[in-house]
Amino acid sequence: MNERRASHSPGLRAWLGLLVVLGPVLLVAMDGSVLFLAMPKVAEALSPTADQALWILDVYGFAVASLLIAFGNVGDRYGRLKLLMAGAAVFGAGSVGAAFAPGPELLIAFRALMGVAGATLLPSALAVLSELFPDPRRRASAIGIFAATFAAGFAVGPVLGGQLLNYFWWGSVFLINLPVVLLFLLLAPVLLREVPKARSSRIDALSVPLSAAGILLTVYAIKHAAAEGLTATAVATGVVGIVTLGWFARRQLRLEHPLLDVRLFRDRVFTIAALTGLLPLAAWSAVAYLGGIFLQSVLGLPVPEAALVALPGAAVLTVTCVVTPALAARIGTRAALVTCHVLIAAGSLPLLLTSASGGIGWYIVSTVIAGVGYGISFSVVADTAVAAVPAERAGAAAAIAETSNEIGSALGIALLGSLAALVFRLQGPDLAGTLNETLRIPGLAPSVIRDAKSAFVSGLHVAAVAAGVLHGALAVFALRRIPRTFAVTGDTGPEPLAADTAAVGGMR
């Protein structure tokens, strides 16, 4: 027994390799949220239109989400370390271009390029990490750290961006990527090993554009409809996107080596885990974005102080990701999944106590309570995805988890953010479409400013209630549908993803 454990114990090189892998992971996650507090400065410098400002925020997430599945399989086939190295180099180049973009059009283009590079990094990084830690329990701990880093990047992005803007110009939020990228390119060839390729697999050329186009068109249609209503553009784009995704799904069922094994979703636990990857990011991104406006435009906090208000929730989220593997081993993954949704739903309630004149304390309480739920969800989803498939399909499985995160982030701003904007338009002074646009109108009476801020807070409350209801419903669904025997215990790592052997066989 001791010999077996010793043979699986990771050495110093494995832990150093983990640290090297975490650098790009942190950057990819952080760049998904770093502009939440920086957008006012970007808008001041580049003067984008409303649509361009929206694309500056969202094109990165759209690019990552639409290509994660494809690049997860490319790494499985042609080498994950090679893809990591190439992706890191492109990510660094895109960061430099974004930092010095002279106008909104080029900034959107370089943000899209960074998203393409980010889609190469996430699934391959998780697969390389799995190769570094062959022992299931050690791998679960490493994945917990991976998830904590990914979550911390999302959480710390606005904080770091806000602090940088206190000393430097807006492009600095992109240039901070360069030292990490350069360090990774220097150390990765020394500390990381190439993962064995899945020689028997084939990448279906048609599936790649189908998956990318289907996700991008569908998410864009939902976002456009939420913001502008059911216009002809939204309906047409949505129909094309849904049809494309349906075509993609049917094609995967017929392929011997599918780009995405949709049969995995026949297992109810895997499906709930995928939803757990999507909804928490939707709630988090919407609250972070709306919260930044609440703290700065409603309460009048400077950017650095608004960034500091986000620190407690970010710290709790990060620590929770680290301890979640041990927590899941003690209480079972079923209980962990249910608990995360209950806590996120409960964390939405304190936001209802915020007002146009105060509520910073309640905002912090909300982020701390929900932060525990977010941390549990991020860690459990990553571990479940990797444990669900054979090792040679680890990149594709990781892509499913990360795709649900990125789509959730995009949908959070698209749906919950647009819901809040709708409430503002209905209850506000009807002078402009957003709070910031309204406040920039010269000569406003104090009563008009007060009404505009109150309308925005009402929108924040409605979005919080919607997020809470969705997570409460998923908590009930998980409680009813996940087998009681589902858990993560023992020396051999995660138990099967379902209680019965047939379900497990179907997943593998």
How far is Cα 240 from Cα 234, in angstroms, rounded to an integer? 10
What is the reported pLDDT for 369?
94
What tokens does 287 get? 């609250």
> Is 293 within a domain?
yes
Q: How high is the pLDDT of residue 351?
A: 93
Q: Do the beta carbons of residue 216 and residue 62 sit within 8 Å?
A: yes
Residue 274 belongs to domain with CATH number: 1.20.1250.20
Q: Does residue 2 belong to any structural domain of this protein?
A: no
Residues 215 and 327 both lie in one domain: no
Mean pLDDT along residues 389-408: 63
Examine the domain organization and report whether 469 and 494 are in the same domain.
Answer: yes
Q: Which of 188, 223, 256 is the last residue of a domain?
A: 256
Question: How would you label 421-454 residue by residue, b for 16+ Cβ within 10 Å and e otherwise?
Answer: bbbbeebbbeebebbbebbeeeebeeebbebbbb
Q: Judge if 252 and 292 occupy the same domain.
A: no
How many structural domains is the chain composed of? 2
Lowest-confidence region among 46-60, 264-278, 411-425, 477-491: 477-491
| Domain assignment present for 28 | yes
Q: How deeply is 344 buried, as exposed, middle or buried, from its count of CB atoms within 10 A (0-12, 13-18, 19+)? A: buried
Q: Please, which residues bridge with residue 213 across strands?
A: none
Residue 2 has pLDDT above 50, yes or no: no
Average pLDDT, the chain: 76
The set of residues, in sequence order, having a beta carbon less than 8 Å from that of 183 and lying 6+ positions away, is 20, 23
pTM over 0.75: no
As a whole number of angstroms, the distance between CA 181 and CA 171 comes to 17
Residue 79 lies in a domain: yes
Give the per-residue pLDDT at 272. 78
pLDDT at 392: 56
Q: What is residue 119's predicted lDDT score, i.e. its pLDDT?
A: 80
Q: Report the largest interatomic distance among the alpha carbons of the chain, rounded to a whole angstrom.
A: 78
The pLDDT score that the predictor gives to residue 485 is 58
C-alpha distances out from residue 416 to 262, 348, 393, 411, 422, Å = 28, 13, 34, 8, 10
Q: Of 225 and 5, which is predicted with more confidence?
A: 225
**For residue 488, which phi and psi values (nearest 5 degrees)?**
-120, 105
- Could you tell me the residue range of the domain that residue 241 belongs to? 204-256
Please give the DSSP secondary-structure letter assigned to residue 199: T
Is 209 found in the same domain as 78?
no
Residue by residue, DSSP assigns 351-377 as GGG-BTTB-HHHHHHHHHHHHHHHHHH
Question: Mean pLDDT highest for which of 29-38, 91-100, 156-165, 386-395?
Answer: 91-100
CA–CA separation, 495 and 485 (whole Å): 9
Based on the domain organization, do 137 and 217 belong to the same domain?
no
Q: Does the CA dihedral 381-383-388-393 come out positive or negative?
A: positive
- Same domain for 183 and 213, yes or no, is no
Q: What is the rounded CA–CA span in Å between residue 320 and residue 341?
A: 14
Provide the pLDDT for residue 354. 93
Residue 291 lies in a domain: yes
In this structure, are residues 224 and 417 in contact, taking their beta carbons and an 8 Å threshold?
no
3-state helix, strand, coil in the chain (%, to 5): 80, 0, 20
Q: At which of 223, 256, 289 does a domain end?
A: 256
- Describe the crossing of helices 50-78 and 80-99 by its angle, rounded to 10 degrees: 160
Same structural domain for residues 161 and 237?
A: no
pLDDT tens digits, one per residue of 115-132: 888 888 776 776 777 677
User: What does the alpha-carbon distance between residue 167 and residue 403 come to, in Å, rounded to a whole number?
Assistant: 34
With respect to residue 1, please indicate whether it lies within any of the assigned structural domains: no
CA–CA gap between residue 385 and residue 388 (Å, rounded): 5
State percent of the chain over pLDDT 70.
77
Q: Are residues 233 and 273 in the same domain?
A: no
Alpha-carbon gap, residue 326 to 140, rounded angstroms: 9
- Please indicate, yes or no, whether residues 465 and 391 belong to a single structural domain of this protein: yes
Tokens (6 digits) for 16: 């150093």
Residues 415 and 495 occupy one common structural domain: yes
Check residue 309 and give its pLDDT. Answer: 85
Classify residue 115: in a domain, yes or no. Answer: yes
Does residue 3 form part of some domain? no
Count of CB atoms within 10 A of residue 194's CB? 13
Band of the pLDDT at 387, cuts 50, 70, 90?
low
Residues 189 and 245 in one domain: no
Are 236 and 319 in the same domain? no
